Amino acid sequence: MRIIIVGAGIGGLTTALRLHHQGIDCEIYEQGDLVRELGVGINALPHAVKELTELGLLERLDEVAIRTHELVYLHRLGPEIMRRPCGLAAGFTWPQFSVHRGRLQGVLLRAVRERLGEDAVHTSRRLTGFEQDADGVEARFAEGEPVRADALVAADGIHSAVRATLFPGEGAPRWNGVMMWRGAVDWPRYGDGHQMVIAGGTAAKLVLYPIAEGKTPQTRLTNWAIGVLSGRPGDPPPQRQDWSRRVDPSGLAELAARFGIPVTDHAAMIAATADVFEFPMCDRDPLPYWTKGRVTLLGDAAHPMYPMGSNGAGQAILDATSLSIHLTQHEDPADALLAYQDERLPVTSEVVRRNRVGGPENVIDEVERRAPDGFSRIEDVMDPAEMEAIVAGYAKVTGASREQVNR
């Protein structure tokens, strides 16, 4: 069997490694040149790290990422709502990693080239269409010759060309009215240097976490993100969701002043960041199906979601495992792609829906709704058992609870 994977993001590269692990032949076709390590911070929770460990990548991840030990939720004005251990500290067999997206992609790309061969990833090849018949599928590209294979896996992201072919009337991604600004900068460690902080609910949120060692032992490359509700949910996005759109950071001082957190001087951190990226927070509605014959969707092409609960890349990694297992269990690739869809579509659709109401961070929304000006005792605002139920309920839906992962 031979598989074409479209897109060399985290979803496409992990799929290639998984298929290779199962002895299935595949090649990746990517529109970009993969020269630059694009993006800012991303989190891989233990459910995803377990999969990457099975692929023999734990050591390499440790070389480029930070093991996250703790997650702290704060009210926008500073008071602490809750804190939870993460990864090994929470009793998982696998750690949680916070990492620069481009470096994680780099680790995966290097492994693909080492294991599948230098030629397994074809760059500057943009898919423009495909046709299938009873025996196979043929992919066409803007550059180069068409390619034929037994199946095609579209891991081509939120603006997926394959998804647009399967669902021509779908249109642009759905915007929830939140604009996001993100960056990463070498910054003095805060806490124990392994802490993720989320302050504020969906209307105004600040997120901080270290993603790599710094230039000195006292600093870390620290990822920050600010999200502010600035449009109406359901409005068309003000611009195409482009992860690489740079903006002038000077306009962000006013937004940073909305947060009063005791962790670090976040306003100075933002002002010191050279490259700031801006994009609207978008997802898409869950689909009725992903598979048509010998073609299927995976990762953000299948289920783009709001970045609550750190699940975008993780769910793509879980897709890759499911797909590769079904391809080894079915003789007919079309049956395998259907079985993969039946396993993964209901779960990921629920994650998309949960993220629309804040995911686990819905705890912060709820506290701020009850106590918009802050509080002195969290117990007076929200029962810790109620908070735990929201967070633990979300983890279970995403397959990320300790019981599910350590099993």
Ligand X SMILES: Cc1cc2nc3c(=O)[nH]c(=O)nc-3n(C[C@H](O)[C@H](O)[C@H](O)COP(=O)(O)OP(=O)(O)OC[C@H]3O[C@@H](n4cnc5c(N)ncnc54)[C@H](O)[C@@H]3O)c2cc1C
Which residues bind to ligand X, rule: CB under 6 A? 6-12, 29-32, 38-42, 101, 126-127, 155-157, 161, 243-244, 299-301, 307, 312-313, 316
Nearest distance from C-beta of residue 125 to ligand X, angstroms: 6
Which residue, 135, 117, 137, is CA-closest to 127?
A: 137
- 41 vs 79 by CB, closer to ligand X: 41
- Spatial contact of 94 and 10, defined as CB atoms under 8 Å apart: no
Nearest distance from C-beta of residue 317 to ligand X, angstroms: 8
Cα 390 → chain centroid: 20
- 149 vs 381 by CB, closer to ligand X: 149
Nearest distance from C-beta of residue 373 to ligand X, angstroms: 31
Nearest distance from C-beta of residue 104 to ligand X, angstroms: 8
- 75 vs 294 by CB, closer to ligand X: 294
- Spatial contact of 99 and 213, defined as CB atoms under 8 Å apart: no
The neighbour count for residue 257, using CB atoms within 10 Å, is 10
The tokens for 129 are 């269409």
Give the dihedral of Cα atoms 304, 309, 315, 317; nearest 10 deg.
Answer: 120
> How far, in Å, are 24, 196, 238, 245, 316 from residue 253 at the CA level?
51, 22, 22, 19, 35
- 13 vs 364 by CB, closer to ligand X: 13
- 147 vs 378 by CB, closer to ligand X: 147
Nearest distance from C-beta of residue 30 to ligand X, angstroms: 5
- The C-alpha atoms of residue 367 and residue 406 are separated, in whole angstroms, by 31
- 24 vs 99 by CB, closer to ligand X: 99
The SS3 call for residue 10 is: helix
The SS3 call for residue 33 is: coil
- 210 vs 307 by CB, closer to ligand X: 307
- 124 vs 264 by CB, closer to ligand X: 124
- 37 vs 342 by CB, closer to ligand X: 37
- Spatial contact of 240 and 403, defined as CB atoms under 8 Å apart: no
- The C-alpha atoms of residue 198 and residue 167 are separated, in whole angstroms, by 36
Residues 6+ apart with CB under 8 A from 59: none
- The C-alpha atoms of residue 208 and residue 191 are separated, in whole angstroms, by 11
Nearest distance from C-beta of residue 142 to ligand X, angstroms: 8
Nearest distance from C-beta of residue 217 to ligand X, angstroms: 26
Write b or e for each residue in 33-53: b if 16 or more Cβ atoms lie within 10 A of its Cβ, otherwise e: ebeeeebbbbbbbbbbbbbbb
Nearest distance from C-beta of residue 207 to ligand X, angstroms: 10
Nearest distance from C-beta of residue 304 to ligand X, angstroms: 7
The tokens for 253 are 């001082």
- 176 vs 381 by CB, closer to ligand X: 176
Write b or e for each residue in 389-405: b if 16 or more Cβ atoms lie within 10 A of its Cβ, otherwise e: ebbeebbebbbbbeeeb
Nearest distance from C-beta of residue 126 to ligand X, angstroms: 4
